Amino acid sequence: MSRDIYDIAIIGAGPAGMAAAIEADRRGASVVLLDEQPRPGGQIYRNVGIATPRQREVLGQDYAKGDALVTALERSGAKHLSDITVWQITGTGRIAYSRKNQAEQLEARQVIVATGATERPVPLPGWTLPGVLTAGAAQILMKSGGLVAEDAVLVGSGPLLYLIAAQMVAAGSPPKAMIETQTGSDLQAAMKHLGGALRGWRYLAKGLSLIAQLKRAGVRRYTGAGDIKVLGSDRAEAVSFTWKGRELRIETDTVLLHQGVVPNTQITRSLQLDHRYEEDQRCFVPVTDTFGLSSSPIVSVAGDGAGIGGAAVAALSGQLAALGALHRLDLITNETFETSSAPILETRAKELAVRPFLDRAYPPSQQTLKPVDTTIICRCEEVTAGDIRRYAALGCKGPNQAKAFGRSGMGPCQGRYCGLTVTEILSAENGISQQETGALRIRSPIKPVTLGELAAYQEEEHA
Amino acid sequence: MFTPLETASGRQVTFNFDGREFTAQEGTPLAAALLGAGVSEFRSTPVSASPRGPFCMMGACFDCLVQIDDVTVQACMTPVRDGLVVKRIPRPDVSAEPHDSAPQGSENSREALRA
């Protein structure tokens, strides 16, 4: 069969993917942008193109910044395939996807993976109960469901937690409490990076302003909290925790968890690209050069999927990845490549300056990195932290072996919400680095595909 | 609990979940429509029949699984449309046959290592 061949295929229509598509199209490449959602924006700018005035008021100015990218994308000649599920990418640039229950494929000379971030796993007792969601999920519900959490308790740490809390305040539904896991010594450790933070002062000022808004709204914050448990039999009913030597309990039916975000590396791992464990952000990242080029000469990674930097950095990285791909395709000259990328590189360095401070001030909590034995760490197969420790005692060295021992990572989420935790536990138990312990291997289909879709696809293959 | 940010302005449609009728704005993610209607438990797990509902709302966690036309789908990735009939995934009978659970699995692994 004949299939479409593009110069550049981009996976993910968040800030990185949109910026890459706009840049590549503008410079004459044939571009296809594939995305799961019905509208461009990614999670950060989700639905910005159809947001109501009320949603804009609640979500704030940084959300509205997505307008420019969405408009530029819509005006560009890039082909935007929305509502599709990419389930396989090969090392030769063939992309298999499903659209309206039909499997299709296309080919690209260069591929830019811009699949963003997912919430870091937050394995706490009770985190699988209905009524417990990620804080990011609560924000998505504001953008995409027109809903706000009521009397919710926010648990965890990180700048996003303050943003979401402030958005809830703006929506007239402030959180009942914030149970925060970062400690005074985390802040102290972060202070040596204050210089960088001051270069990124806009981020710092925004964070301080959010915290001030929460204070004005009377939101109760418990910082340095530990031993956090969500209680309830069939759904969340309360959160218990220790704070300043006291045991506290707050009644709530909605608990929103957040311990920062981590790169979504499902596609990059399925492509068997080189990855490394990033100590500062405590997660695996694909190994890339300045322009996002991975260990494959045809695959670049842009945005949070290559390391957490936030939306502004993601858009700049998307542009840089596009310039790199255009250059490799000989669609731009050496000179254009260099003169166009220099100012973007400079801006990106400034935008990234605050990161080391944030990474140290808001680290994942010890409780979630080293969950107690009874805590479920694999939500799909209900494998506990104790199970993983037992496998370690039996000689299990890595997450792929642990999967064979006890199914962690074998369920439908394919390790998205247990993989990092399994690596952390095995690394601690065996006394070997996270890098050496490694990450789960990911195989296609990276998202579920029906047998009917697969069968139709195979027919096409042999036709 | 989740409550509306504002009065819905879009086209309202009716759908059915687990035998109950619900109304939501057309195109809203099914998981959001149900959460907004006060439904937070969507299914029971195959391992221990524990209740589960939406967790990530972005297609990553697979906890909001439901069935539409006998196909298991993610409720957070499925837009509501008029007349949609959504079923719960049939509850597994965990009492009849014990699942090959983790502790048992580790016993097997122990034997395998010894062998």
Q: Model ipTM?
A: 0.96
A131 and A224 belong to one structural domain: yes
- The residue in chain B having the minimum alpha-carbon distance to the alpha carbon of residue A417 is B61
CB A74, CB A82: distance < 8 Å = no
Quote the radius of gyration of chain B (alpha carbons, Å). 18
Which helix (H) or strand (E) segment holds residue A154: the answer is: strand A153-156
Cα separation, A172 vs B20, whole angstroms: 30
**pLDDT value of position B101:** 46
With CA atoms as reference, the chain A residue closest to B40 would be A130
Q: What DSSP string runs through A268-297?
A: HHHTT--EEEETTTTEEEE---TT-B-SST
pLDDT digits (tens, 9 = 90+) for A373-416: 999 999 999 999 999 999 999 999 999 999 999 999 999 999 99
**Higher-confidence residue: B16 or B105?**
B16
pLDDT, residue A451, reads 85
- Does B51 contact A234 at a Cβ distance shorter than 8 Å? yes
Domain co-membership, A206 together with A82: no
The number of beta carbons lying within 10 Å of the beta carbon of residue A193 is 19
Check whether residue A249 and residue A291 sit in a common domain.
no
Identify the domain containing residue A396 by its residue range: 370-432
| Beta-strand relationship, A4-11 and A31-34 | parallel
Domain parsing of chain B, residue ranges: 12-114
Give the nearest partner residue to A416 out of B8, B27, B60, using CB atoms: B60
Q: Which residues on B lie below 8 Å from A383 (Cβ)?
A: 102
Residue A342 falls within a domain, yes or no? no
What does each C-alpha distance from A33 to A24, A323, A449, A458, B103 come to in angstroms?
Answer: 11, 16, 20, 24, 45
Q: Residue A82 class from Cβ within 10 Å (0-12 exposed, 13-18 middle, 19+ buried)?
A: middle
Q: Measured between alpha carbons, how far is A83 from A289 in angstroms, rounded to an integer?
A: 31
Distance CA B18, CA A338 (A): 59
Mean pLDDT over B38-48 rounds to 96
CATH of the domain at A427: 1.10.10.1100
**With bands split at pLDDT 50, 70 and 90, how would you rate the model's confidence at A3?**
confident
Query: Does the residue A462 lie in any domain?
Result: no
Say yes or no for a CB contact (<8 Å) between B58 and A405: no
Q: Is the pLDDT of residue A207 over 70?
A: yes
Would you say residue A454 lies in a domain? no
- In-domain check, residue A16: yes
What's the pLDDT at B8? 82
pLDDT at A461: 55
A119-169 pLDDT, tens digit per residue, is 999 999 999 999 999 999 999 999 999 999 999 999 999 999 999 999 999
Residue B114 has pLDDT above 80, yes or no: no
Do A288 and A243 share a structural domain?
no
Q: Above 90 in pLDDT, residue A58?
A: yes
A213 in any annotated domain: yes
CB A237 within 8 A of CB A250: no
Question: Any idea which fold B12-114 has?
Answer: Ubiquitin-like (UB roll) (3.10.20)
Nearest to B55 among A134, A382, A447 (CB): A134
Are the Cβ atoms of A150 and B45 closer than 8 angstroms? no
| Tens-place pLDDT, residues A82-115 | 999 999 999 999 999 999 888 999 999 999 999 9
Given a cut of 60, whether residue A365 has pLDDT beyond it is yes
Any domain includes A441 = no
Residue B95: pLDDT band by 50, 70, 90 thresholds? low
B17-35: average pLDDT = 97
Cβ within 8 Å, pair A150-B2: yes
Summarised one tens digit per residue, pLDDT across range A234-256 is 999 999 999 999 999 999 999 99
Average pLDDT over every residue of A352-365 = 95
**pLDDT value of position A455:** 81
Residue A440 lies in a domain: no
pLDDT-wise least confident of A200-204, A256-260, A263-267, A396-400: A200-204
Query: How high is the pLDDT of residue B105?
Result: 41
pLDDT of residue A100: 85
Task: Read off the pLDDT of each residue in B40-54 and give the average, rounded to a whole number.
Answer: 96
Inside any domain, residue A351? no
Among A43, A52, A253, beta carbon nearest to B1: A253
Does the structure show a pLDDT above 80 at A24? yes
Task: Say if residue A294 is in the same domain as residue A397.
Answer: no
Q: How far apart are CA A419 and CA A443, in angstroms?
A: 14
- As beta bridge partners, residue A278 has A283
Residues A59, A17 share a domain: yes
Q: Which of A387, A406, A417 is nearest residue B61 as measured by Cβ atoms?
A: A417
A128 shares its domain with A250: yes
Task: Output the average pLDDT for chain A.
Answer: 96
CB atoms A407 and B105 under 8 Å: yes
Whether residue A108 is found in the same domain as residue A70: yes
**Is the same domain home to A250 and A284?**
no
Query: Chain A: residue nearest B36 by CA?
Result: A147
Average pLDDT over residues A176-202: 93
Whether residue B102 and residue A407 make contact (CB cut-off 8 A), yes or no, is yes
Q: Which of A128, A140, A171 sits opposite B50 (nearest CB)?
A: A128
In the predicted structure, residue A308 carries a pLDDT above the cut 50 = yes
Residue B94 has what pLDDT? 55
| Domain match, A126 and A242 both | yes
- pLDDT for residue A449: 87
Q: What is the pLDDT of residue A450?
A: 86
Whether residues A111 and A131 share a domain: the answer is no
A405/B109 Cβ within 8 A? yes
Instruction: Check CB contact under 8 Å for B3 and A150.
Output: yes
Task: Examine the domain organization and report whether A321 and A298 are in the same domain.
Answer: yes
CATH number, domain of A218, equals 3.50.50.60
The whole-number pLDDT of residue A383 equals: 98
Residues of B in Cβ contact (< 8 Å) with A252 = none
CA nearest neighbour of A368 among A121, A142, A68: A121
